[in-house]
Amino acid sequence: MSPLMKTALITGITGQDGAYLTEFLLNKGYFVHGIKRRSSLLNTDRIDHLYQDPHEKNLRLKLHYGDLTDSTNLIRIIQETQPDEIYNLAAMSHVQVSFETPEYTANADGLGTLRILEAIRILGLEKKTRIYQASTSELYGLVQEVPQSEKTPFYPRSPYAVAKMYAYWITVNYREAYNLYACNGILFNHESPVRGETFVTRKITMAAAKIALGLQNCLYLGNLSAQRDWGHAKDYVEAMWLILQQEKAEDFVIATGVTTSVRDFVKMSFAELGIEVEFSGKDEHERGVIIDIDEVKVESLKLKAESLKPGTTVVKVDPKYFRPTEVDLLIGDPTKSNTKLGWKPKYDLPALVKEMVLSDLHLTKKDEYLKDGGFNTLNYFE
Ligand code: NDP
Ligand code: GDR
């Protein structure tokens, strides 16, 4: 390994951001180490295209078994890998699930960050290793002001956000107390074709593809009025890297500055498939109904036109997806990252939606093929 080659350690390498960041850092010439939890299935789908056989001569990607709840394991991996940069992306990242598993979430998302920071001190790596902490717009929670910037006060609204608030402040504290180069990226929602299937964007794009192919009847959602500032994960991992390349360690908001409701995300996704959906009704009785079909688009995408009739209800509200406390409106102010980091997203929302919908249409065609052959895989996702 060349002495000039930088080494990065990524926790959460099997996740959405871990995969995009690994690809980004390999392209920059880094040696990338990743921490992966043991699971009964391999769970490396998102990084399989980057995987290298450990026997390869010019190996630049290596996976280590580990867990954010195990400090001894983190200390050992950091000692072995001696990273120039650590990207702490591992987390129980689902807001609604955090209401079901609050203690575990606090342990992994909150204390997990402390364990990494302490490991750096224990190993005397304060001057060598820079740390990126995956902070989140969920910290803003109950709306205090819009758009939300680095100066906006926090008001977390879930066990996930409260755990991430601890992680945010312990990162700031270790920077100030021990002069670590440790930074928070306060990232607003970012999505992609490999977004987890239970986050709302991916749930919508997968369902739109299945409905368009006649493989699913209806999409059930929770709060349709929630508004999010959605960007593309590919753009956001570049910002993570830029945050660690500055002279001084600082925290940055990463966002597009545009907000959209869940309802409009649904409309945009179906429109990508030539299906116009309109909403009517209120609260849990609200529905999304097909009002028009673009026959040319349906034909060109080889969709199942016979199952797509104007008047058909394709979206219903299921209150089980309502959260005990909701975050209604997120819209980020990216002025600081635009000016200091020179960061600007390349994707806008229409381009993101298009990429996700077409990717899911492609994946769903495999299910269609299997169903035609008598093997129904679909119930897993409904
Ligand atoms: P994902 O849920 O896709 O990935 C999370 C990763 O963390 C997975 O690799 C997961 O492993 C791993 N992980 C979970 N728990 C542990 C643990 N105890 N020990 C080790 N690894 C663990 O999340 P994203 O990629 O979307 O997000 C990355 C980070 O950024 C997270 O911290 C998230 O909270 C934060 N964030 C995300 C935003 C977004 O919009 N995507 C916005 C702001 C912040 P496995 O594959 O085994 O489950
Ligand atoms: P979020 O993302 O909670 O913002 O956290 P999610 O996609 O889960 O929810 C966004 C909004 O959509 C509403 N919603 C639904 N959400 C889900 N998951 N499923 C539904 O059926 C549904 N219907 C409506 C939600 O109530 C919410 O208002 C994501 C995660 O990636 C976090 O890790 C990250 O920190 C934040 O983004 C920024």
pLDDT tens readout for residues 237-292: 999 999 999 999 999 999 999 999 999 999 999 999 999 999 999 999 999 999 99
Q: Determine which helix (DSSP H) or strand (DSSP E) holds 358, and give its type and residue range.
A: helix 349-372
Nearest ligand (C-alpha, residue 235): 1
Q: What is the pLDDT of residue 373?
A: 78
Question: Among 1-10, 84-93, 115-124, whose mean pLDDT is lowest?
Answer: 1-10
Residue 233 resides in a domain: no
What is the rounded average pLDDT of the residues 133-144?
98
How many domains is the chain built from? 2
CB of 316 closer than 6 angstroms to any ligand 2 atom = no
Ligand 1 center to residue 213 CA distance, Å?
A: 31
What is the rounded average pLDDT of the residues 293-303?
94
Residue 249 resides in a domain: no
The pTM is what?
A: 0.97
Above 60 in pLDDT, residue 198?
Answer: yes
CATH of the domain at 212: 3.90.25.10
DSSP string of 63-122? EEE--TT-HHHHHHHHHHH--SEEEE--S---HHHHHHSHHHHIIIIIIHHHHHHHHHHH
CATH of the domain at 73: 3.40.50.720
- Domain shared by 156 and 216, yes or no: no
Above 90 in pLDDT, residue 180?
Answer: yes
Helix (H, G, I), strand (E, B) or coil at 379: helix
What is the rounded average pLDDT of the residues 93-121?
98
- Domain shared by 143 and 25, yes or no: yes
Residue 245 resides in a domain: no
CB of 14 closer than 6 angstroms to any ligand 2 atom = no
Residues of the domain holding 35: 7-187
- Domain shared by 85 and 210, yes or no: no
Residue 30 resides in a domain: yes
- Domain shared by 220 and 359, yes or no: yes
Q: Are strands 227-228 and 260-261 parallel, antiparallel or unpaired?
A: antiparallel
Q: What is the pLDDT of residue 381?
A: 46
Mutate to test the pocket of ligand 2, among 199, 261, 322 (most ligand atoms within 8 A of CB): 199
Above 70 in pLDDT, residue 382?
Answer: no
Above 80 in pLDDT, residue 128?
Answer: yes
Mean confidence (pLDDT) of the chain: 96
Q: What is the pLDDT of residue 2?
A: 75
CB of 98 closer than 6 angstroms to any ligand 2 atom = no
Above 90 in pLDDT, residue 175?
Answer: yes
Cβ atoms 61, 27 nearer than 8 A: no
pLDDT band at 53 (very low <50, low <70, confident <90, very high): confident
Above 70 in pLDDT, residue 306?
Answer: yes
What is the rounded average pLDDT of the residues 16-41?
98
- Domain shared by 104 and 219, yes or no: no
Reported ipTM: the value is 0.99
What is the rounded average pLDDT of the residues 216-230?
97
pLDDT band at 52 (very low <50, low <70, confident <90, very high): confident
- Domain shared by 89 and 179, yes or no: yes
55 or 96, higher pLDDT: 96
What is the rounded average pLDDT of the residues 39-49?
96
What is the rounded average pLDDT of the residues 22-45?
97
Ligand 1 atom showing the smallest separation from residue 164 Cα: 34
What is the rounded average pLDDT of the residues 137-146?
97
pLDDT band at 376 (very low <50, low <70, confident <90, very high): low
Q: Are strands 287-293 and 313-317 parallel, antiparallel or unpaired?
A: antiparallel
Which residue owns the Cα nearest ligand 2 atom 17? 200
